[in-house]
Structure 1
């Protein structure tokens, strides 16, 4: 086994003499906005895609899943590529791949073509996130870096929050193809600004090391196995031989990957960075946010329409209470840091908000007044918003700048991978809890049967169709039974999410104990040359 030493971190790159960085930052942020907007908004286009392409359920679901799987597989790979060939070159390549893939998606004539194009877009999106964060870490320092990463987190949050609304407007007004056409147009603008981005990042020629092909191949295979198991778990069953076999194979390949990386001179993932407990702790913060916030962002609208009986427009307005803090809190956190509040203190506060908010959201009921849950929703959103962007800057501060791309890739791999896991686990847990309640109570309703089919349809939020499938004589009464069952299952899962968040928060607190991070108390604004240009 080779002995590896991590060189001391180089001093931050100063901005003196470099051209203005407003345009480069805007270009990176535009690309960063498109990726999460695509993740959260594509699902809105699925009904139109299905109608146009006559696609079955499984290939239609892979319009979304193909992007997520490819993103998770290649985020770390792109981070390593960025450190080798240069962050700007890798970022530009990812933006170009995303633009081409989005254009191909807009022109797709069948669903398999669209699935392939979305997978290609996921590869490009992985480069944008990994290399975009690394570019910001290199181009800015001091308070300017804190503000830039705050904008990074804010823009990513805006993309997630507004993705469904913007996609809905495009689908309703112009058709589903325009969802992808707009993505392609936005990335073309980003590509036009690449020369300005290159001017903001000095000496970005890369390390010149060779790409770790064995490590990259093993990691991609492991992530394909893992994410496929997660995606198929709710369809095949989490304890089915196929899913358990995929999980076992993923763990085996990851074990081989660790052995290979530890013996490589230029590994894709330098395992020495994982020996820094503070870095690992910071990388787990987005994982907690995935379970405490992203799951609610994905599934709370279904609860509001299914159990609470609200229409889609009302549910969308209510969701603003959850998403609004994500738009405001990243910049608020950056301002607090520049005024002397330790960044790690804000991160701990954000984790506490996630746990407290999730617990307080158990106040939800079909007839609850929105004012009663407004504060819990705002607190939960603040839990996501306070750490978004801030945690990226803090984590990359701990890493040798030469490894910033790899470190950003690892952080974003955990971020997206945990989102996929959290959403899949939530869906499976809700379906299981709801299935138990339906199975236990369906016999009380005359004519009702097919508990499995009814529960599966109800878990998707379509209670009316579930009641029709049941054959119940009293359809309205059966819908009320399903609404009560959905409400009960939702609360069971919510308690579970709060428990997972609490455990993760405890682990993170232990890992971060005693470490303040180099940027926890930055110099006052204006003292660093890097403070100019944002």
Structure 2
């Protein structure tokens, strides 16, 4: 294992990875500051788009007369393309240069966003959103790889803390920002604003390129067969996840997609073992510490992202809050994501082990999800405020920190590949976790409907009712029964949703606990390596 080496910038001056004071003494902080601000602006756009685009869907549908499926792919096309190409971009960046690959991604995203803003129909918008996802994959993979190249030591920790903070802000503010734009100037300005922001990013790229010296995989070529196989495997997998709730998880189409993904991944693994310059160097995955760090965002996907996605629906369906009130309550969950990354960086700078903070973040996810079971139909928000803050801290303490630690482990010339794999697991696990939650909710509700719906004549098919309730719609099913029995049936629906929610919380707690133990086991196994293995991997960064 190699740690980050120091390289002088192309134009002379301070080392790319020196201490802040050292850089200031040599007169190069403006270059690093510009690089950081540029990467952070681009990174802010991507999660803002992911979390905020859904808000614009009703207006997009009304304006373009779009059907349900093509309208859903306005969001899905971006997510699928992002997941498919994140690893490929990371590998390409190690060959052609991270700044160049970052610029290509930002340029593609800007053009695609402009196309989205000008789209005349929903199919054109779907294509443009897929191209934006392709560019977003480059921004995330190459942006984090650039930071690992330019920063080192405590400065790197602070840079990645800001990376995590800005990504969290983007996720948190995306719906509000998009909602304000849709209401004020129309849905097209959601995408037009992305074009403007990334235009500013592109203006700064030439200056960044002059100041950044990048380690590259000398003599390597783009692994076209490996890239094509991996993209195909991820496309099959993510499409199966996206379509699972529509076609049915046990349907022939979804099962065929999953089987195809497994088969193509097996072929991909066999091909990569024989490539001189593979897209994914499988020896990187042999480093147990790196693999353990890559699993931390997976735990956050199950413990935090699921709550970020579905807790608002619980608050409006079971607790009876308005959408606005539910949004305000969600601040308790998102606030730690904005604060904790910088707090973690400061603690590391004062000598606290990075690994200790990562363990604390995993513990917060386990404890947070378990104590969120305090939620109930009439529970006071003060009772669940601490569990929500703890769950948010589980995400916030590791956001950014885990990226810096993971990229510090691998050789500098493979940082793009390593960042691509980490972000592939991050987004892929988010899609899987959210899909699993939705499937469990519908399944558990259907089970409870079958058990008790017979006591409410005229209620209809239990599976149909379960799907409507899972989507947060109580009014429609309740309207099917006699008016005199409506209050009792609504109470039954609320209790069923509440029961299903609590069951899912315990399942999520169990998943986070298993991942916690697995991550700890991988780290311990890495520490117990023999001297020969340690020498082969190289020195490890402290913490």
Alignment TM-score, normalising by the size of structure 2: 0.92
Partner-residue secondary structure (3-state), 2:321: coil
**Which residue does the alignment assign to 1:278?**
289
Which residue is equivalent to 2:45?
34
Deviations 1:511-532 (A, max 9, x none): 11265894444xxxxxxxxxxx
Instruction: Single out whichever of 475-484 and 459-468 deviates more from structure 2.
Output: 475-484
- Aligned pairs for 1:94-493 (under 5 A) are 94-203=105-214, 207-468=218-479, 474-493=485-504
**Do structure 1's residue 11 and structure 2's residue 5 form an aligned pair?**
yes
Shift of 1:11: 2.4
Output the CA distance in 2 between the equivalents of 1:520 and 1:158: 29
- What's the secondary structure of 2:352's corresponding residue? coil
Deviations 1:55-74 (A, max 9, x none): 11111111111111000000
* Structure 1: distance between partners of 2:238 and 2:4: 36
Q: RMSD of the alignment, in Å?
A: 1.6
How many residues align structurally?
Answer: 515
CA–CA distance in structure 1, aligned partners of residues 482 and 427 of structure 2? 41
Aligned partner of 1:73 in structure 2 is 84
- Once residues 12 and 249 of structure 1 are traced to their aligned partners in structure 2, the CA distance between those partners, rounded to angstroms, is 43
CA–CA distance in 2 between the matches of 1:159 and 1:288?
Answer: 20
Deviation (angstroms), 1:435: 1.3
Deviation, 1:440, is: 1.9
Indicate conservation of the 8 Å contact 1:91/1:131, yes or no.
yes
Deviations 1:477-523 (A, max 9, x none): 322221111111111111111111111111001011265894444xx
Distance in 1 (CA, whole Å) between partners of 2:384 and 2:49 is 29
Structure 2's unaligned 5+ residue stretches are 8-14, 17-22, 528-538
SS of the equivalent of 2:330 reads helix
Instruction: Assess if the C-alpha contact under 8 Å between 2:217 and 2:414 holds in 1.
Output: no
TM superposition shift of 1:446: 2.9
Taking a change above 3 Å as real, the CA distance of residues 276 and 470 of structure 1, as seen in their structure-2 partners, is farther
**Contact 2:94 2:415 survives alignment (8 Å):** yes
**Partners of 1:454 and 1:467 within 8 A in 2:** no
CA displacement, residues 359-407 of structure 1 (integer Å, 9 cap, x when unaligned): 0000000100000000000000000000000000000011000000000
- 1:444-490 deviation digits (Å, cap 9, x = unpaired): 11322122222111101121123235677633332222111111111
**Per-residue CA shift, 1:27-63, capped at 9, x if unaligned?**
1001101101111111111111111111111111111
Mapped partners of 1:480, 1:12: distance in 2: 64
**CA distance 1:9–1:372, change in 2 (3 Å):** closer
SS in structure 1 of the partner of residue 127 of structure 2:
helix
Structure 1 counterpart SS, 2:277? coil
> Which of 474-483 and 9-18 deviates more?
9-18
Cα distance in structure 2, aligned partners of 1:185 and 1:90: 20
Q: Deviations over 1:211-256 (max 9, x none)?
A: 1000000001000100011111111221222211111110110000
Q: How far apart, CA to CA, are the structure 2 residues paired with 1:143 and 1:150?
A: 11
Give how far 1:19 is off. Answer: 5.4
Deviation at 1:10, TM superposition (A): 5.5
Give the secondary structure class of the aligned counterpart of 1:506: helix
Range with greater deviation from structure 2 (124-133 or 17-26) = 17-26
Q: Distance in 2 between matches of 1:474 and 1:173?
A: 42
Match of 2:509? Answer: 498
Do 1:93 and 1:124's aligned partners in 2 also have CA atoms closer than 8 Å?
yes
The 3 A distance-change label for structure 1 pair 349 and 356 is: same
What secondary structure is seen at the aligned counterpart in 2 of 1:29? Answer: helix
For residues 10 and 433 of structure 1, do their structure 2 counterparts lie closer, same or farther at Cα, with a shift above 3 Å needed?
Answer: closer
Structure 2 equivalent of residue 47 of structure 1: 58
Out of 38, 59, 75, the residue aligned to residue 70 of structure 2 is 59
Residues 446 and 324 of structure 1: CA distance in aligned 2, closer, same or farther (over 3 Å): same
| Alpha-carbon separation, structure 1, partners of 2:304 and 2:480 | 33
